[in-house]
Structure 1
Amino acid sequence: MKTIAVDTESLGGGGFGALKKLYTVQIACADGADVYPVFCHTYADALGIGGLAARNATEVLDILSEAEHIVFANAAHDLSVLYSFYGDALAKAKFKWDDVLLMLWCMCPNRPYAAGEQHSLASWGERLGFPKDKMRFTWDRIHAALEDETAEVTTNTGIELLEYGKRDAELTFAIWEHLNKELLTLDPIVKNAAMSTYTLIERPTVMLVMEMQAHGMKLDLDHLAVLWDEWGELLDQSESSMKEWVRENIGFVPAATPKLLKKPMNGDAEKLDRYFFCGQDENGMYVYREKLELNPKSNDQLAWVFQQLGWKPIEFSDKTGKPLLSKGQLDELAPRYELAKQLKTFREFEKLFTTYVVGMHNTGTAQDGWIFPGWNQNGTITGRYSCSNPNFQNLPARTEHGQRIRQAVIAPPGMKLVGIDLQAIEYRVLADQMAQYFMQYHGHIPPDVDFMLQAFINGKDIHTEMAQLWFGHKPDYQDKAKYYRTIGKNVSYGRMFGFGAAKASTMMGVSEEDARAIIATANESNPSFNEFQQWVWQSAIDNGGWGFTAFNRPNYYPDICLKPSSRTHEAIARAKRQCFNARIQGTAADINKLIHLDVNTSELCATNVLDKLEGSEYKHLRNMMLVLNGSPIVPAFDGINVGTVHDELLFYVDDYNAEPLAAALTLHYRNNWSYMQFCPIDGTANYGDNWSVIK
C-alpha cells in the first residue's frame, strides 16, 4: 500500500495513555476508506460495538507499519494518539508521513481558507464538494455515555461515529490528491519556498507540538483558588464603583426589553417613576423601559450612558443596529471620561479572571491538576505559534496580574521549569533586514541602521537607545527618560506593524496631533526605515503580490498590486501593512521555531559551552558540569517541551540538571550569530519552581 490517509478519533484533554484515549482509526487510500474501531477501554461498551475491538488493533498496526507513506490532516494530534496507544510498536515503523493541511498552509498562510477556523477538514470538505450531512457529528451523546452510565447511547450512535470517521479519512486523502494537483500549478519560486518552509521548519516542529499537547502543564490549584477569591472581590468592588458613579452622575439606565402599551401608562407616581417613557413606535404603541441600575457587563446600557455624556457612536451591530462599545472605541473614550477608564480596566481584568483564573482552575480540577493547552503551529498568518484553552499568547508578560497567573503554572515533583526568552527578536530582525538591504543595493550600512546594530551588538537596551536618538534633544529628557523610553518603544513597534496616528495616540496616551509629531521625529531620525519599507512593498508588487520572510516563507497579498484610487486606498493600505508585518514578524517566527528545533536536536556543546563558563556568571557550575557529563561537553537537550509563548520557550527538566541547562542555553544563545547576518540574537534562560520566577 503506497499512500494511505489516516485519521483518529479520541476523547480527552491530552496526555499519553492518560486522558487522551484512542477509540477508532480511519484509513483511506485510492480504493476507498475503511474504519477500524480500536477500543482500549469502556468506550466500546458505551457505544454498543465492543465486539469489534479485539480483532482490529493488530490489523491497524500492520497496515500502518506496511505503509510507505501516511498523510494526516492533523499530524500532531493523530500521531500523539497513535503513539499513546501503540507505543514502541509504532515507533519501529519506518513509514514517511505528511500533514496535508500544514502543507497547504505553508503554500500560502493567508489564503481565505487556510487560517483560523476556516483552516479545517470541514472547510475543505465544502470546497471539494463533500456532502454537508457527512461533515458534522454531535459529540454530546459520547460525552454523556462516558460521564453518566444511565445515558442512552445506542449502537446507531457508534455506527454514526464510525461513518463520521470514515468521511474524515476519505476527505484527508482527497485533500492530498488536490494538493498534488495544486503544486503543479503553483509558481516554481513560491512552490520551492513553501516546500522548503514545510520540510525544514514546519514538519519537524510537529513532533514538538505533539509533545507539548500530550504532556501538558502542572497547576497550583491552591494558588488559583486564592486568586479566585481575591480577584473576584476586586471585580465586585470595581462594579460597585462604576454603578455608584452612574447613579450619582446619570441616574438609572433603561432596560433593554421595552414594555409596549396601547395607552399611556396609568398608576400612582411611584409606579410611573420606575419607567422611562421612550415615545411611540411605528405601530403607535407607547414604549416604556424600566429604570435599572447599571450592569457594567451590558453593552446596551453602557452605550446609552456614554451617549448621555455626549458620545456619538460610530460602530453598530449588523444584526440589531445598536451601538457597539468596542475596545477601540473604549480606548478613545478613556482619556475623556473617568467611567470609560474604569470600564477599560474592569474589562481587561475580568477577561484575565474568567479566562485564566476561573478557566484554568476548573479545567485543572477536572484533570488532576493538569491542563493541556491546544498548541497550534499553523494558526496564524505570520507563522507564529497560537494557543487555545487557554490562550497563553494573550497573557500579559510583565504586568503584576500576568505574573501572578504565571505563578500558577508549576513544575511537577522532582523537576524544574526552564525557560529561554529571546530578547527583542522582532526589532533585531528589522535591524538585520535593513542592513542586508542596504549592503545589497547601496554597498554600505547607513548610520541610523548601524546605530541600531551597535546597540544590539554591545548589549544595550534598544528602546532606551532609540528614545535617546529621537528625543534626547528635549530639555526634559533626563528627568523623563523612562517615559520617553515607553514612547519610543510604542513608536518602534507601531512603525513595524503599521499603526497610524490614531492607534499610536491611544498606545502612547497622547493626542493624535502629538502622536503625528512623535512619529515624524522618529522618521526624520531614522530615514532608512522608510526606504526599506518601500522596498519590501515594491518587491511584493514585482512578484505579483507574493512576499517572503528571510527564510523564504511565502505570503500572498494581491491587493498590494491594485491601481491606487479612492476606492482601493483602504485595501492597498491593509495589504501593505500585512505584507511588511509578515516580513518582520514572520522572520522572527521562523527563528523562534528554528531555535525550538535546535534546542531539541543539537548538542549545546557545538560552541564549547564549558569554555564560556569561565568569564560568565555561571563559572561556579564548571565542576558540576564535568561531574555530570564526564567530559568538557554539554550533552544534547533532554527536557520535556511544555509550551512556547511569544518569544519564550518552556521545558520541564530534572531538578539536578535545571541550572546547568539554563546556563548552557544562555551561553549558547547569548550574542548568537547563527540566524542572522548583521545582528546577533540574544537569549536568556532561567529556571524555577513556577513560570513567574523564570521571566
Structure 2
Amino acid sequence: MKRLVLIDGSSYLYRAFHALPPLTNEHGEPTGALFGVVNMLRSTLAERPDYVAYVVDASGPTFREALDAQYKANRPPMPDDLRAQVQPMCEIVSALGIDILRVPGVEADDVIGTLALQAADAGIDVTISTGDKDFAQLVRDPTPEGCGIALVNTMTGSRMDCIARVVDKFGVRPDQIVDYLALVGDSVDNIPGVDKCGPKTAAKWLAEHGTLDGVIANADGIKGKIGENLRAVLERLPLNRELATIRTDVELERGPTELVLRERDADALRTLYARYGFKQALRELDGGAADTLESVRNTAAGYARTGPAVEAVDPALAAPGEYECVLTREQLEVWIAKLQAADAFAFDTETDALDALRANLVGLSLCVEPGQACYIPLAHDYPGAPAQLDRADVLDALRPLLEDAGKRKVGQHGKYDLHVLRRHGVDVRGYADDTMLESFVLNATATRHDMDSLAKRYLGYETVKFTDVAGKGAKQISFSQVALDDATRYAAEDADVTLRLHRVLAKKLKAEPALERVYREIEVPLVPVLERIEANGVRVDADELRRQSNDLGRRMLELQQRATELAGRTFNLDSPKQVCALLYDELQLPTLVKTPTGQPSANEEALEAIADRHELPRVILDYRGLAKLRSTYTDKLPEMINPDTGRVHTSYHQAGAATGRLASSDPNLQNIPIRTEDGRRIRTAFVAPHGRKIVACDYSQIELRIMAHLSEDPALLRAFTSGLDVHTATAAEVFGKSVDQVESGERRAAKAINFGLMYGMSAHGLAARLGINRGEAQDYIALYFARYPGVRDYMERTRQQAREQGYVETVFGRRLYLENIQARSQGLRAGAERAAINAPMQGTAADIIKRAMVAVDAWLADHAQRALMILQVHDELVFEVDEAFVPTVIDAVTSRMAGAAELQVPLEVESGVGANWDEAH
C-alpha cells in the first residue's frame, strides 16, 4: 500500500524553537529550531514514504480572519532568532527532495486536510506529522471504501492512528472534535470557549447531547455557574466551530500522487549541514547511521534528555544473532567449554515471578560473543513441551563458573539474577559489569536504563518484548508456558544484547576516567551488597501494625465525624471534587491554589494555604495523613511478609535518582514519615528477634559538611572542625552573638537558613518556614551570606559551571546533567540552578554512604552469623546484631562510615541501639 506523509511544517518549526536550547553555529547564526526540524525530517524519511509534502502557512490573511478579526490577534510576532531560520529550513527541505506547499488565503491545516482526504479516498495510507490537536478531527480507521488517516508526533513518537485512540485521549470521537474545540476554546488561536469549561466538561456534554447543536439546544438544563457561562456565549459557539473546522475542499494545483519524493541534492545538503554544524547529518550523508531528535537534543551542548535516543551504531552490533536452545547434555558441555575459554560472559535468568525472593528459575541464557547466545530451558511445563535438562544438574555443572570470582560476569540489572541464583543454591561471584549501571553513570537522565531502551539508543536494535512472547493483561501467560522457540528467541537475545551493550558502554566509560571510577569503585561493588541486604530482610511485628491500624481507623472515624459537624452535612473526605465543592462553593473559602487546568485544588498545598481560615481544611489534612499511613504501611506491611522467611524484603534501586541516591520499593521504606509521632510509631514494628538488637548508624548533618568542604568557607569549616553545633554557630555568626548567647528561636532560624539555602529556598519560602515577614527573611539571608561569603561564591561558581558545561559534579566525579539550565523560561532555568547547587551535595552524600556500605559489608563477611545489614534509609544504615556483639559492630561500622570520604571537615556518625528501629534512635 502506498503511503503519504504530510508534515505540518509551521507547527514543528515553532515547537522545535521552544523545545531546544538556543543553539548557534560557529558564525553566531541561530540553529536550534533548524536542528530540531532537520532531524525530524530525517526520521520521517528513514521510513521511506512514497509521497511526502512539507506544508507551511502562506503570508497574508486567511478566510478565518475575515470571519473573526480577533482570530490569532493575540499572537506575538515571530522572534527574530526564529525568523532567521525559516529560509535555511526551506533550503534544506528542498534539498532533501521534499515539496514545500503554500496556498494563499488558507492555512497549512486546510491544505493538509484536503490532501489527506483526497489520498485516503484514493487508497493511499495517510500519516499527518504534527503535534497540533486540531488534526484529531481528521483521524479515521481504514475501511473498504478508503484508507486510514493517522497522526504521528515525531517530536514525542506518539501516534493517534484510529478512532479509539482519539476517544482515549479526548473523550470524544473525531467527528466531535470540532464541537469539542468550540466549547473548550483555543488560547493560542484566540478562540474564546465557554468560561471554566475544560476538556472533561466538554466531553461530558458531547457524550450526553451528541453534538454542539445538541448542547446549545439543551443549555437551559445545565445547572450551576458553568451552565450560566455556557448560556452567555451561545451565539459565539457556531463561529468557534467554523474557525476550528479544518477545510477539506481547498483548490490545489497538485494532488497527492504528484508529491513523489525527489532525489536529494547531496552536494547542497553537505554545504548546508556543514554551515549549520549538523555533524551527525553529515555523517549520515556519507553512509553513517542516523540520530533521532532525542539524540540531537541530548548531544546539543551536552544537555541530558530522557527517551530512547539512537546513537551512531556499529553495524556488527546491530545484526541479528544466532541462538541455540540447549536440550542435551552434549550441547551443555559445548557451552561450558565456550564459557571456560571466554574472558567474560553475559548471563540472564528467566523466572515465573517478578519477586526475586519467591521466583522459580525457568531457564538460563548465556552469551560469550555478540551474536552467539543460548537458552537453557529448565522448567517449561506447557502441554507437549520437549524434555529438558534437570535444573539441579545444570546448576551443578555451571556452579564452578558462576561462583568463580576470577571469571567476569556481565548482566543487565543483574541484582535480580543474583537473587534468583542464590535462591537456587548458586552464590554468584565475579559479577563485574552491569549495563544498566554503565548507562546510569554515563548519564543518569539521557535515557531510561532498561534493556529495551538501551538497545534502541546504543545499538539501534529493536528487542523482542516480553509481551511479544507471553501476551498482555489477563491473557498473559507465565514464562514457563512460553513455547521453546519463542522463549529461546527472547531469552537468548537478552544475554546477547547485554554483552553487545557492554561492549559499547564500556568504551564510553573508558573515555571518561572520573565516571569510570564512579562505576568501578562505587556502583558495581554495591550490587552484591544490596543483594545481601535485600535477602536479609527485616522482621516486622504484624500484631503491632494491626494494633496501629485499629487505632488509626478509630481516629479517622472521629475526624470524619468532626468534619461532618463542621460542614453541616456528610461528604466524602477522600473525594477532591466533593471537598472542593464544600470548601470553595459552599463555605466560600478563597481559592489560593489551582490545578494545572485552572480549577480549584484540594491537594495538601491548597488545604494548608487555607487552614488558618477555617477548621475544616485542617481536619481533612489530619484525616488524609492518617489514611495514608494506614493504607501505605500499617495495613500493607503485614501483607508483604515473605512466608518463606517471615521477613519483609524491600528492593533497592541504584539507577533511580539522578543524584545517585538509592530508592526502595515493595515496600518503600525511604518515605516512612518521621516528623510525626504516628510516623515514628511505625518504626516500632521493625523489630529484632530474641537475643538480638537493632543498631542504627546515621551520618550527622552530612550535606552541610559537604557544603563546607565544597565552599571552603573559613567560618563554616571552623564550625565543623571545632566540633561546634553548626546551627548554633551559624546563629552566632548571623546574629552577632557568642555561641553561649544564642537562643532557641535563633538556632531554629539558623537551621532553616542552613538547610533552606542548600535547597534553593527563597526569602518567601524562609518567611513561610519561620512565620516572619519576607523582608525580615531577606535580611536573615543577607546576614548569612555576609558571614559566609564562601558559600555565596560557591553557589555562583556552581551556577556558572552548570551554564557552561550543562552539568555539575560530585566530589567523586559523578556527573549530574541539568536539562533546563539554558531554558528560555525563567522558572525552568531557576529550578535548574537550584538543582545545580543542591545536586553536588546530595550526590556526594549518596556516593559516601554507598562507599560506606561496601566497606561495612566487607567487614561483616567474617561476622555473618552475628550481625546483618538490613536497611539503608537516606543517610542511615540499620543492622540486626547479637546483643553481646553490639559494641563491636558500633565501633566497626561508625569508623568505616566516618572513613568513607576524606573531606576538609570530619564526618560524624551517630549510633543508637534498641529492641526496635524506633528505639535505636
TM above 0.5, yes or no, is: yes
Deviation track 1:343-379 (CA, whole Å, cap 9, x = no partner) reads 3333233222211111112212756631111112221
Q: Which residue of 1 aligns with 2:351?
A: 10
Q: Which residue of 1 aligns with 2:884?
A: 656
Q: Determine helix, strand or coil for the equivalent of 2:424.
A: helix
Q: Which residue of 1 aligns with 2:574?
A: 297
Q: Determine helix, strand or coil for the equivalent of 2:905.
A: coil
**Shift in CA distance, 50/578, structure 1 to aligned 2, threshold 3 Å:** farther
Residue in structure 2 matching 1:540, options 802, 809, 813:
802
Q: Which residue of 2 aligns with 1:119?
A: 449
Q: Which residue of 2 aligns with 1:179?
A: 505
How far, CA to CA, are the matches of 2:884 and 2:814 in structure 1?
Answer: 39
Q: Report whether the alignment pairs 1:580 with 2:580.
A: no
Q: Which residue of 2 aligns with 1:452?
A: 716
How far, CA to CA, are the matches of 2:790 and 2:383 in structure 1?
Answer: 66
Q: Report whether the alignment pairs 1:101 with 2:327.
A: no
Residue in structure 1 matching 2:915, options 685, 689, 692:
689
Q: Determine helix, strand or coil for the equivalent of 1:383.
A: coil
**Shift in CA distance, 401/482, structure 1 to aligned 2, threshold 3 Å:** farther
How far, CA to CA, are the matches of 2:546 and 2:403 in structure 1?
Answer: 47
Q: Which residue of 2 aligns with 1:227?
A: 548
Q: Which residue of 2 aligns with 1:349?
A: 626
**Shift in CA distance, 413/49, structure 1 to aligned 2, threshold 3 Å:** farther
Query: Once the 2 structures are TM-superposed, how far is the Cα of residue 69 of structure 1 from its aligned partner?
Result: 3.7
Give the counterpart letter for 2:908 in structure 1: D
Q: How does 1:69-468 map to 2 (within 5 A)?
A: 69-87=408-426, 90-91=428-429, 95=430, 97-111=432-446, 113=447, 118-125=448-455, 127=457, 128-130=460-462, 134=466, 137=470, 155-156=481-482, 164-180=490-506, 182-183=508-509, 188=511, 191-247=512-568, 293-308=570-585, 309-312=588-591, 315-316=594-595, 322-364=599-641, 369-435=646-712, 449-468=713-732
Query: Once the 2 structures are TM-superposed, how far is the Cα of residue 210 of structure 1 from its aligned partner?
Result: 0.8
Cα RMSD (Å): 3.6
Alpha carbons 1:466, 1:488 under 8 Å: kept: yes
Q: Report whether the alignment pairs 1:34 with 2:34.
A: no
Q: Which is worse superposed, 511-520 or 356-365?
A: 511-520
Alpha carbons 1:126, 1:132 under 8 Å: kept: no
How far, CA to CA, are the matches of 1:673 and 1:129 in structure 2?
Answer: 44
Residue in structure 1 matching 2:902, options 662, 676, 685:
676
Q: Determine helix, strand or coil for the equivalent of 1:349.
A: helix
Deviation track 1:292-328 (CA, whole Å, cap 9, x = no partner) reads x32111111222233232433654366xx75443333
Query: Once the 2 structures are TM-superposed, how far is the Cα of residue 194 of structure 1 from its aligned partner?
Result: 1.0
Residue in structure 1 matching 2:867, options 639, 645, 655:
639
TM-score by length of 2: 0.56
Query: Once the 2 structures are TM-superposed, how far is the Cα of residue 51 of structure 1 from its aligned partner?
Result: 3.6
Query: Once the 2 structures are TM-superposed, how far is the Cα of residue 586 of structure 1 from its aligned partner?
Result: 0.9
Q: Determine helix, strand or coil for the equivalent of 1:691.
A: coil
Query: Once the 2 structures are TM-superposed, how far is the Cα of residue 199 of structure 1 from its aligned partner?
Result: 0.8
Residue in structure 2 matching 1:493, options 749, 755, 758:
755
Alpha carbons 1:640, 1:653 under 8 Å: kept: yes
Q: Determine helix, strand or coil for the equivalent of 2:918.
A: helix
Deviation track 1:73-97 (CA, whole Å, cap 9, x = no partner) reads 1122212222332435x55xxx552
Query: Once the 2 structures are TM-superposed, how far is the Cα of residue 504 of structure 1 from its aligned partner?
Result: 3.4
**Shift in CA distance, 310/193, structure 1 to aligned 2, threshold 3 Å:** same
Q: How does 1:554-569 map to 2 (within 5 A)?
A: 554-557=815-818, 559-561=820-822, 567-569=824-826
Query: Once the 2 structures are TM-superposed, how far is the Cα of residue 550 of structure 1 from its aligned partner?
Result: 1.0
Alpha carbons 1:221, 1:369 under 8 Å: kept: no
Alpha carbons 1:547, 1:556 under 8 Å: kept: yes
Give the counterpart letter for 1:38 in structure 2: L
**Shift in CA distance, 295/161, structure 1 to aligned 2, threshold 3 Å:** farther
How far, CA to CA, are the matches of 2:865 and 2:794 in structure 1?
Answer: 38
Query: Once the 2 structures are TM-superposed, how far is the Cα of residue 674 of structure 1 from its aligned partner?
Result: 6.5
Give the counterpart letter for 1:527 in structure 2: P
Q: Determine helix, strand or coil for the equivalent of 1:392.
A: coil
Alpha carbons 1:419, 1:650 under 8 Å: kept: yes
How far, CA to CA, are the matches of 1:195 and 1:490 in structure 2?
Answer: 37
**Shift in CA distance, 487/244, structure 1 to aligned 2, threshold 3 Å:** farther
Q: How does 1:467-478 map to 2 (within 5 A)?
A: 467-471=731-735
Query: Once the 2 structures are TM-superposed, how far is the Cα of residue 657 of structure 1 from its aligned partner?
Result: 0.9
Query: Once the 2 structures are TM-superposed, how far is the Cα of residue 422 of structure 1 from its aligned partner?
Result: 0.8
Alpha carbons 2:642, 2:648 under 8 Å: kept: no
Give the counterpart letter for 1:570 in structure 2: G
TM-score by length of 1: 0.73
How far, CA to CA, are the matches of 1:674 and 1:154 in structure 2?
Answer: 45
How far, CA to CA, are the matches of 2:613 and 2:726 in structure 1?
Answer: 33
How far, CA to CA, are the matches of 1:465 and 1:102 in structure 2?
Answer: 41
Deviation track 1:203-247 (CA, whole Å, cap 9, x = no partner) reads 111111111121211111111111111111112222222232122
Give the gaps of 5 or more residues in structure 2: 1-337
Query: Once the 2 structures are TM-superposed, how far is the Cα of residue 408 of structure 1 from its aligned partner?
Result: 0.8
Deviation track 1:145-188 (CA, whole Å, cap 9, x = no partner) reads 8xxxxxxx99447876665434433442343244246458xxx4
Q: Which residue of 2 aligns with 1:526?
A: 788
Alpha carbons 1:669, 1:681 under 8 Å: kept: no
Q: Which residue of 2 aligns with 1:617?
A: none
Q: Which residue of 2 aligns with 1:52?
A: 388
Alpha carbons 1:109, 1:555 under 8 Å: kept: yes
Alpha carbons 1:209, 1:377 under 8 Å: kept: no
Q: Determine helix, strand or coil for the equivalent of 2:728.
A: helix
**Shift in CA distance, 669/79, structure 1 to aligned 2, threshold 3 Å:** closer
**Shift in CA distance, 369/510, structure 1 to aligned 2, threshold 3 Å:** farther
**Shift in CA distance, 164/343, structure 1 to aligned 2, threshold 3 Å:** farther
Alpha carbons 1:36, 1:60 under 8 Å: kept: no
Q: How many positions carry a matched residue from both structures?
A: 569
Q: Determine helix, strand or coil for the equivalent of 1:536.
A: helix
Q: Which residue of 2 aligns with 1:25?
A: 364
**Shift in CA distance, 142/590, structure 1 to aligned 2, threshold 3 Å:** farther
Give the counterpart letter for 1:52 in structure 2: Q
Query: Once the 2 structures are TM-superposed, how far is the Cα of residue 461 of structure 1 from its aligned partner?
Result: 2.4
How far, CA to CA, are the matches of 1:471 and 1:496 in structure 2?
Answer: 20
Alpha carbons 2:852, 2:900 under 8 Å: kept: no
**Shift in CA distance, 524/349, structure 1 to aligned 2, threshold 3 Å:** farther
**Shift in CA distance, 57/200, structure 1 to aligned 2, threshold 3 Å:** closer
**Shift in CA distance, 359/177, structure 1 to aligned 2, threshold 3 Å:** same
How far, CA to CA, are the matches of 2:564 and 2:646 in structure 1?
Answer: 37
How far, CA to CA, are the matches of 1:348 and 1:649 in structure 2?
Answer: 27
Deviation track 1:665-688 (CA, whole Å, cap 9, x = no partner) reads 44x369x57623421011122223
Query: Once the 2 structures are TM-superposed, how far is the Cα of residue 638 of structure 1 from its aligned partner?
Result: 6.5
Higher relative contact order (CA 8 A, sep 6+): 1
Deviation track 1:433-453 (CA, whole Å, cap 9, x = no partner) reads 211xxxxxxxxxxxxx43333
Alpha carbons 1:221, 1:365 under 8 Å: kept: no
